């Protein structure tokens, strides 16, 4: 949902600016389409890796994967981003890692945003989880797509959560965690900013 435009202040020399927030709902054809892993297993023995942008779509899912349609026009992003997900874990402790990747029209991938939170929600019950994704300053080209991954690990950048409530650094018992991501009520919130147009300055008259 695009936000309301805000004009430039008086005396801004004709500066026209519009600030907008872009919300991409999960499961919507115009938002983030679910590709894989609405139900997945966060397994400490095969954690999702932080140093690899490749996403396997065969075999048992180890993450939830969503994808936008190609952008119809360039998109400027300036400000904080976040993901809001409705999710379930069957363990008393769970990490929720969200990675956003830009897929260029030629297929190349580059990281855009990442965030991870640790939760201790009642096992088996849906919970609303907000994952801050940091401050963005980027311009995405027309034709690019955004891929969102939701996982239970981001290793080796972050220690594997044992899912028992123990300290991940000292835990000796690591267990699997069954996860479910509900598309309804889940969305990616991006700080989309409209392009700015500047008026030409009035030339100074020399006497």
Per-residue pLDDT tens over the stretch 93-110? 999 999 999 999 998 999
Percentage of residues of the chain with pLDDT beyond 90:
74
7 found inside a domain: no
pLDDT at 172 (0 to 100): 85
pLDDT at 202 (0 to 100): 52
196 found inside a domain: no
Tokens found for residue 11 = 């005396």
4 found inside a domain: no
pLDDT at 8 (0 to 100): 35
pLDDT at 20 (0 to 100): 59
Residue 142 scores a pLDDT above 80:
yes
How far is Cα 94 from Cα 92, in angstroms, rounded to an integer?
A: 7
How far is Cα 112 from Cα 26, in angstroms, rounded to an integer?
A: 18
pLDDT at 196 (0 to 100): 58
- Binning pLDDT at 50, 70 and 90, where does residue 197 land? low
CA angle 99, 103, 108 (to 5 degrees): 115
137 found inside a domain: yes
42 found inside a domain: yes
- Give residue 81's domain range: 22-189
pLDDT at 7 (0 to 100): 34
Residue 183 scores a pLDDT above 80:
yes
User: How much is the pTM?
Assistant: 0.84
132 found inside a domain: yes
How far is Cα 150 from Cα 67, in angstroms, rounded to an integer?
A: 12
pLDDT at 136 (0 to 100): 98
pLDDT in tens, 2-60: 222 233 333 333 222 334 599 999 998 889 999 999 999 999 999 999 999 999 888 89
How far is Cα 44 from Cα 34, in angstroms, rounded to an integer?
A: 24
First CA to last CA across the chain, in angstroms? 52
17 found inside a domain: no
147 found inside a domain: yes
Domain total for the chain? 1
Mean of the per-residue pLDDT values for the chain? Answer: 87
134 close to 115: Cβ distance less than 8 angstroms: yes
Residue 84 scores a pLDDT above 90:
yes
**CATH number, domain containing residue 160:** 2.60.120.260
Residue 92 scores a pLDDT above 70:
yes
């Amino acid at each position: 949902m695009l936000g309301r435009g805000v004009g430039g202040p008086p005396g801004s020399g004709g500066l026209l600016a519009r600030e907008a927030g872009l919300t991409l709902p999960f499961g919507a054809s115009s938002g983030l389409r679910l590709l894989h892993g609405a139900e997945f297993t966060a397994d400490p023995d095969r954690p999702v890796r932080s140093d690899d942008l490749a996403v396997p779509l065969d075999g048992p899912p180890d993450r939830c994967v969503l994808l936008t349609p190609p952008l119809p026009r360039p998109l400027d992003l300036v400000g904080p981003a976040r993901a809001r997900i409705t999710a379930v874990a069957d363990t008393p402790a769970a990490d929720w890692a969200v990675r956003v990747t830009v897929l260029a029209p030629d297929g190349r991938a580059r990281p855009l945003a990442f965030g991870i939170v640790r939760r201790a929600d009642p096992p088996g019950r849906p919970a609303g989880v907000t994952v801050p994704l940091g401050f963005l300053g980027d311009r995405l080209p027309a034709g690019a797509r955004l891929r969102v991954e939701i996982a239970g690990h981001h290793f080796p950048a972050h220690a594997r959560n044992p899912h028992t409530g123990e300290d991940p650094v000292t835990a000796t018992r690591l267990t699997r965690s069954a996860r479910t991501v509900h598309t309804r009520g889940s969305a990616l919130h991006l700080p989309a900013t409209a392009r700015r147009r500047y008026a030409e300055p009035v030339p100074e008259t020399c006497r």
